[in-house]
């Protein structure tokens, strides 16, 4: 499958006019420690790219900017839509809440309001994205990146993003918890989270980060690196070929893409969403 081997770190913007993001609270910079990634499909890596003296703990808070102001959904839009899906996504006590679809209000004519994934209006090349999340009991969601809106809307369901997914899940109560590559922190359907994973109980906040630079990716969960991969490796090619995405042309092309919060019908909360763009 053809892939772009280099990519600019400069963010481009969606056709929606760019928003100004007010500073929300004190930007949290996660302290990182070295952890090896392991799992059924994972090669034991060396230290993560951001697990040494150049880690986020040494990066100025000024290098980060919020993607959520704590009060509005400015800077976000429904994937494939002209607005945020009404009733499905709400700002609640300084968080972005995906409202469980069964409790979303109906339209005036009694029909259910249509949902769909929530997408940044901006696109990003090389970046480090940090966020906190918690789920309701039995809930399933995810954070997707390297997302092309055009590719996503050309497939059914057209309001669901196609992209690499950082899985967000109640591992113990959702059926997906039976599959290692579908549990929290995994690169969904490709790489399980490794032994360093320490997941907080349902209802408590987890801290996560996604590092995406060139062809290299990392997933971090509560201070530990749990997934590491290189898109231009034979290992990645074999994992992709065995995944549900194998037949989707262009899925694994490296692009300047959107970041997406998944609508999987369950109650999930996100907060402290912030990004640091990585310079070449």
Q: What is the 3-state secondary structure (H, E, C) of 168-222?
A: EECCCCCHHHHCHHHCCCCECCCECCCCCCCCCCCCCCEEEEEEEECCEEEEEEC
Q: What domains can you pick out in the chain, each with its CATH number?
A: 56-105+113-277 (2.60.120.560)
- Kindly report, residue by residue over 101-133, the tens digit of the pLDDT: 999 988 889 888 999 999 999 999 999 999 999
Distance CA 82, CA 105 (A): 20
Cβ–Cβ under 8 Å, residues 185 and 226: yes
Cβ–Cβ under 8 Å, residues 162 and 152: yes
Q: Over pLDDT 90: what percentage of the chain?
A: 74
Overall pTM > 0.85 = no
- Kindly report, residue by residue over 140-174, the tens digit of the pLDDT: 999 999 999 999 999 999 999 999 999 999 999 99
Residue range 180-194: mean pLDDT, rounded? 98
DSSP 233: S
Looking at the DSSP assignment, which residues form a beta bridge with residue 141? Answer: 168
Helix (H, G, I), strand (E, B) or coil at 95: strand
Kindly list the strands in the beta sheet with 76-78, ordered across the sheet, starting from the edge strand earlier in the chain: 76-78, 118-120, 258-261, 140-147, 164-169
- Kindly report, residue by residue over 10-55, the tens digit of the pLDDT: 444 443 333 333 433 433 333 333 333 333 344 433 344 444 433 4
Distance CA 45, CA 68 (A): 33
Q: Give the dihedral of Cα atoms 3, 5, 9, 11; nearest 10 deg.
A: -20
Distance CA 83, CA 61 (A): 31
């Amino acid at each position: 499958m053809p892939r772009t081997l280099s990519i600019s770190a400069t963010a481009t913007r969606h056709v929606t006019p760019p928003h100004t993001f007010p500073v929300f609270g004190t930007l949290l910079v996660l302290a990182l420690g070295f952890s090896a990634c392991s799992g059924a499909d994972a090669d034991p890596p060396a230290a993560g790219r951001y697990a040494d003296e150049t880690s986020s703990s040494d990066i100025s808070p000024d290098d980060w900017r919020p993607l959520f102001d704590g009060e509005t959904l400015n800077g976000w839009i429904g994937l494939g839509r002209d607005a945020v899906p009404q009733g499905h996504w709400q700002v609640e006590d300084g968080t972005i809440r995906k409202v469980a679809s069964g409790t979303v209000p109906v339209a005036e004519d009694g029909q259910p309001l249509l949902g769909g994934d929530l997408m940044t209006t901006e696109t990003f090349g090389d970046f480090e994205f940090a966020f906190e999340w918690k789920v309701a009991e039995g809930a399933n969601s995810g954070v997707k990146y390297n997302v092309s809106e055009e590719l996503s809307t050309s497939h059914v369901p057209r309001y669901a993003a196609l992209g690499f997914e950082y899985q967000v899940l109640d591992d113990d109560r959702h059926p997906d918890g039976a599959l290692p590559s579908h549990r929290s922190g995994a690169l969904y359907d490709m790489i399980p989270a490794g032994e360093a994973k320490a997941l907080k109980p349902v209802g408590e906040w987890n801290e996560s980060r996604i590092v995406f630079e060139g062809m290299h990716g990392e997933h971090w969960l509560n201070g530990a690196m749990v997934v590491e991969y290189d898109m231009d490796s034979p290992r990645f090619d074999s994992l992709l070929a065995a995944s549900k995405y194998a037949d989707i042309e262009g899925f694994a092309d490296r692009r300047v893409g959107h970041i997406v919060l998944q609508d999987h019908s369950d109650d999930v909360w996100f907060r402290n969403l912030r990004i640091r763009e990585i310079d070449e």
